[in-house]
Amino acid sequence: MKKQIHVYYVGRVQGVGFRYTAEDLAREMGVSGWVKNLRDGRVELVVEAEEDALKNFLHRIEEVFSSYIGNKDVAWLAATGEFEDFQIRF
């Protein structure tokens, strides 16, 4: 069953290729949604996929950026089906 996660990453997560890496990983793993930088220095991420795919996606993000992520706030939600692909939002 598809689910959605809404994540805010805190730390030194801007200016390190976070959005472009998230986009590459999402496309590689078949995850849809979006990512964007926020004015307060956080990165916001919304993705939908099967639960296992979401867990693997989060794990891969955290592997790559473990030294940059200070904290994260993850909310698990019901999938909306609104996303066809993955995008970087500005």
Q: Let me know the angle formed at the C-alpha of 44 by 42 and 47, rounded to the nearest 5 degrees.
A: 155
Q: Are 6 and 46 in contact (CB under 8 A)?
A: yes
CA separation for the pair 81, 14 (Å, rounded): 28
The residues annotated as belonging to the active site are 19, 37
DSSP-assigned states of every residue in 31-49: -EEEEEE-TTS-EEEEEEE
CA separation for the pair 24, 55 (Å, rounded): 16
